[in-house]
A and B are shown apart, each in its own frame.
Chain A
Amino acid sequence: MTVSLSDDQVLVAIRDLVFFHGERKIFDGVDLRFQKGKVTAIMGPSGTGKTTLLKLIGGQLRPHRGRILVDGCDVHRLRATELYELRKRMGMLFQSGALLTDLSVFENVAFPLREHTRLPEPVIRKLVLMKLHAVGLRGARDLMPSQLSGGMARRVALARAIALDPMMILYDEPFTGQDPISMGVLVKLIRDLNRELGLTSIVVSHDVKETLTIADYVYLISGGKVVGEGTPETIAHSDSPWIRQFVHGDADGPVPFHYPAPDYRADLMAAGLGGSR
């Protein structure tokens, strides 16, 4: 199922990644490759470490083993200034939006432009309005982040992530909290950004249907390992029990729904005997 790619087609390569949050092993030898100019989706149950993976790619967390190469640079061996240069070419849409709460919607989108360019004010204004228009929020430019709904905040964050025209965007759950219409718009926007600007996109999501429509390639992660990968067609028609369960949303199957826990019965009985919480 694995496609072999020559190195110049790969923008992000992750090799043998091992990462712990405290005692808990989040990744146990994961290999992933993200192709240039394509949309690659990462799917997996809640709590498997999808957000953690994006933070590792962005250099905010340090792997305990393995390497992460972005555009040929080992993210975790770069000096601080080089890492910042690399980040200017990466846009990241945070799961929480992470808008600056003391700046208006307009100023939030203008923020990266003001920080990294010396563009004159009229140009900044034009760019910001274009980006806001793309996400349907040009009219909301004067609102403060606290006046936005969750879905709107996510779209403003997206406008901000594309403000600097990055080479790659990391989307953490772009579809959660969107109504069917804005969901459709977002799906199209991600596709278009990708097609027209040649952006590389990494989309983290558990919305199976939407993700399979926009992705060129899909990785399924569970329990710290890649349990399935392939094009959307192969994923949709796969016989692998892992993939089938996730795609069809079955309660029973190999993908764990529960955070690791002791045996249910034993746990309940222990409480009766005055055991630990």
Chain B
Amino acid sequence: MMENPFQRLGRFTLEAMQKLGRANFFMAHVLLGSVDLLLRPRLLISQMFFVGVMSVLIVAVSGLFVGMVLGLQGYNVLSDFGAEQTLGVMVAASLVRELGPVVTALLFSGRAGSALTAEIGLMKTTEQLAGMEMMAVDPLRRVVAPRFFAGVASMPLLAALFSMVGVMGGYFVGVGLLGVDDGAFWSQMVAKIDFYDDIVNGVIKSAVFGVVVTWIAVYEGYDAVPTAEGVSRATTRSVVYSAFAVLGWDFVLTAMMFGDH
């Protein structure tokens, strides 16, 4: 059966909309199921370990290198204007506003999101989710909700860790290797970084990315075609869609937060 391009576009749009609708129902159901977690915090804590703690190393190491690169690049540009004293401001602002949330979200999706998708997809493939349903246990509450909230809670903390280690990296390169004044590096940073404009906005961004990435990850797993190939495709989609969603939302949020300056 042949389709003309218009038919294909129409079908594609309809399918995308249907998927979005299902994903919203899914999320509403998961949110309703979150009440159980208050009664059983251990479920959440064990998932925070797998989703959050296991991502600490990759986030910290990446943060260090990004901070060091920022130190080098920033010094090159700023020293042309004799403004290397403001290196601390530049490093911290880039990290807290942009790179911390965005790069952490991308790393998080590759490290934790893909694992969540594969795990849930495989549980579906091996009928573990259906088995739970027949035992009158709602897999959305028992399996998906703890993983979702663990991801949502972990992302801002990981992004904060990324920024913190990144500032240390920038300090190490700028002050340690390139000779920027130690006092100026910190005092300029403290003076120029605004609590609301920079830090709060950065935290909001990382929280939004946490919701987006984890939502995509758990939904793709739950919606996976229950075969080996289906799970592998779902895992790929989880990472790709997360990257698009994070970068797209980053633009929207940045425009809303910093657009009127």
**Interface, chain A (partner B; CB < 8 A):** 55, 58, 60, 84-85, 87-88, 90, 92, 94, 96, 98-101, 111-112, 115-116, 160, 164
Contacts and interface: CB of A to CB of B under 8 A. Distances in A.
Contact of A100 (B128, B133, B136, B138): B128
B131 A87 contact: no
Contact of B135 (A60, A85, A112): A112
B135 A87 contact: yes
Contacts of B134: 58, 60, 87, 90, 92, 94
Interface string B109-137: 00000000000000100111011111111
B142 interface: yes
Nearest to B143: A100
Closest A-B pairs by Cβ, 7 of them: A98-B131, A87-B136, A98-B127, A92-B134, A84-B136, A88-B136, A112-B135
Nearest to A90: B134
Interface of B: 123, 126-128, 130-138, 142
B142 A115 contact: yes
14 contacts: A60-B134, A84-B136, A85-B136, A87-B136, A98-B126, A98-B131, A99-B128, A100-B128, A100-B132, A101-B126, A112-B135, A112-B136, A115-B136, A115-B142
Contacts of B137: 111-112, 115-116
Given A84-B138, A115-B142, A94 B133 contact: no
A249 B196 CA distance: 78
B131 to A, nearest CB: 3
Contacts, number: 50
Nearest to B122: A101
A49 to B, nearest CB: 16
Contact of B127 (A87, A94, A111, A160): A94
Contacts of B135: 87-88, 111-112, 115, 160, 164
Of listed A88, A92, A98, residue having the most chain B CB within 10 A: A98
A60 B130 contact: yes
B128 A101 contact: yes
A90 B136 CA distance: 9
B131 A94 contact: yes
Contacts of B128: 98-101
Nearest to A112: B135
A60 B133 contact: yes
A98 B130 contact: yes
A263 B128 CA distance: 39
A90 B131 CA distance: 12
Contacts of A160: 135
Nearest to B127: A98
A92 B137 CA distance: 13
A100 B134 CA distance: 13
Contacts of A92: 131, 134
Contacts of A100: 128, 131-132
Given A96-B126, A101-B126, A87 B142 contact: no
Contacts of B130: 55, 60, 94, 98
Nearest to B142: A115
Contact of B133 (A87, A99, A116, A164): A87
B215 to A, nearest CB: 22
Contacts of A98: 126-128, 130-131
A98 B132 CA distance: 9
B35 to A, nearest CB: 14
Contacts of B127: 94, 96, 98
Nearest to B135: A112
Nearest to B141: A115
A65 to B, nearest CB: 23
Given A60-B133, A111-B135, 4 more contacts: A87-B135, A90-B134, A98-B130, A115-B137
B40 to A, nearest CB: 10
A52 to B, nearest CB: 13
A87 B130 CA distance: 12
Contacts of B136: 84-85, 87-88, 112, 115-116
Contacts of A99: 128, 131
A143 B1 CA distance: 52
Nearest to B119: A102
Nearest to A98: B131
A183 to B, nearest CB: 23
B119 to A, nearest CB: 9
Contacts of B131: 92, 94, 98-100
A206 B135 CA distance: 25
Nearest to A80: B138
A43 B186 CA distance: 78
A194 B127 CA distance: 26
Contacts of A88: 135-136
A114 B123 CA distance: 20
Contacts of B133: 58, 60, 87
A54 to B, nearest CB: 9
B246 to A, nearest CB: 29
